[in-house]
Structure 1
Amino acid sequence: MPEIDPLPLAQLTTLRTGGAPERMIDALTRDELVTVLRDVWASGDDWLVLGGGSNLLVGDEPFEGTVVRVRSAGVERLAAPEPGIARLRVQAGHAWDDLVAQSVAWGLSGIEGMSGIPGTVGAAPVQNVGAYGQEIADTLVAVELIDETTGQVVEVPAGELGLGFRTSVLKHHYGSVPARRAVILTVTLDLADIGTAPRPLTSDRLRQALPVAAGAELSLAEVRDLVLQTRRAKGMVLDDADPDTRSAGSFFQNPIVSEQFARSLPDACPRWPMESTREPVIVIPLAAYDGYVPRAAPRNVQYKLSAAWLIENAGIRKGMRLGRSRAFISSKHALALTNREDGTAAEVAELARFVQQRVAADFGIELQPEPVLVGVEL
């Protein structure tokens, strides 16, 4: 549990912003993380838990408090809950993509579509990470966490985490505090044990995104390779040689709107229903049928919109910047804000506000930031 000389957070975050904190501690194991957090919380100091630093925009001023780096790692195979299912318990500080690579090597399916996502395993349930039709909510069994209010360590079933589109009760949304202030210690997942041989790719979202022909058979390793190629083409795989990867990935959330609002947008705007739009089937026993079929209750289906499409169609082109700012829109993906030239958090925030204002003016939608903002306002 070494206390180390504080490093500038610009060296530890993928957006490369942030000053040095007053104090920095490395928690190398689960037990060390528990001890450190209890001590920090008892002190009353401000605190920040840092995993991979891939979902943070940290302000330029020094952080007045303690940064706890989660450095625990390890994957444990538990007893299988049923045939064909592998249960894994993973330490919070384990690199997410290392977990995906290991699961693919073991022939375990359920997270291969999330290959290349930076960050740590402990951060994944907080924002219910997902890509290409897969979300961690699909495979998550439970998390072990330490509660800030009580200091107690508890195991919480996935169903109690409020998992939704890029959210959970643990997430710090911009302008609000988490519904539950806690830190994840370990994550338990159930993955399908399908082996390493090629199999038909049944996921339409994955097949269309890669893209591969209908009915194609791919191994998990081939799916992973194609996902990494796709993400790399968008600057979404960390690469020191590619300045477009100096980002927090997608900076803005894809907005969720009502069906009525979605219909008011141009036909070209991509949208996806958040639930089935099919009319529900009504079954009436023959003995009770009187010739009248009741009308189905009206439903308010919500739609997810493409934030990238909204940004580009608000006149914001890939690769642009404001004046001589060192913050850019990615040259590969309009949804990513990049810090290509050792810019400041203030420059990134200025560009983010500009994007928000343009999209709001053209489409009446206020884009919400995806990263956690520390010492920064939009």
Structure 2
Amino acid sequence: MAKDIQEQVLERLGSLIDDELGASFQELGLVGPVSSRLRRVSAQLYYVGGAPEIAERLQAEADAAVAELGSVSVELLPLDPSGQAQLRERLMTPMMLEARTTRTPVFSLPGSTARVIGVSSGKGGVGKSSVTANMAAELARRGRRVGILDADVYGFSIPKLLGLTSMPRVIDDLILPPKAFGVKVMSLGFFVEEDTPVIWRGPMLHKTIEQFLVDVLWGELDYLLVDMPPGTGDVALSLQQFLPRSEIFVVTTPQSAAVRVAQRSALAAKKLKLPVRGVIENMSAFVTPEGERYAIFGSGGGARLAGDLGVELLGEVPLTMALREGGDQGIPAVIGAASDLASESLRELVDRLESLGPVRRYRSDLKVQAK
């Protein structure tokens, strides 16, 4: 028996996907009543408010979904506080409830399988954030569930590198991380103007990192990449407290000055009992569009640092025009310039990152008793 038009409208609107929530409007309970009068069908669709462009995009998707059904009008309505509270309860998993009750990041709970990758450097200007953004985009391209926590609260740049400009949406008191290129992102850059300096003491930074880890709907992730601030200050200490299962990967440029500072960052991580898994040498050479290579920052620094730390040199990423342009345009080079030499190096870097596997951790309190 053929479905009537109201059933078809309900079905089509219900199949729309909210990408940030990772579920259909039907599953989220956001499809409102559908009525018919004088051969005209009216439907209501609820959404979690946010930037105007979100509503515009959803309206366009809803209209397109029912376009071939004839005279159907879809009214998009922001979810009221009561509806938000109900949706929040629907989205909360037992692990999330535990995390919010104990104020413990879900990534630190025993049931979490996410690898937490801290991307660190001793000094600014070595391209740590660019490496983080491209690694995350490449992992997502491979089908991995990926998030980035932009913990560089004084020099946040991840939103710009991924072309994100909208404020995060909020469901009751739960923050939805914006998504770009399949990567969920949370950054202080969403909440302050780009040219506004952040002048905070340690306790404010600590509280912000806690909120970003506990009050954000990260969902189930395979990888959480943490873009760490330069140096060894308050934020690094907070991350060690909140994410004791983190693995640290150190980014440096080849020259000796950068290597010495990066080494201090790595040694600080080891003192905090965070395992340093590898070194990434960025800007290993400038490669012109014609393929000429210039070692403008010297050479060999990444290999020397890896040797001193007793870890693997995971990659040597050249500086190319495509890599720089991708950062300025908000399109990671691995996506927008896949054939570029820097993109090839970044893909090889991700290959090695995945082949390493998560760090093995041993509990001294568990011992095998011989019979």
TM range (shorter): under 0.3
Q: TM-score, normalised by structure 2?
A: 0.26
Q: Which one has a larger percent helix, Structure 1 or Structure 2?
A: 2
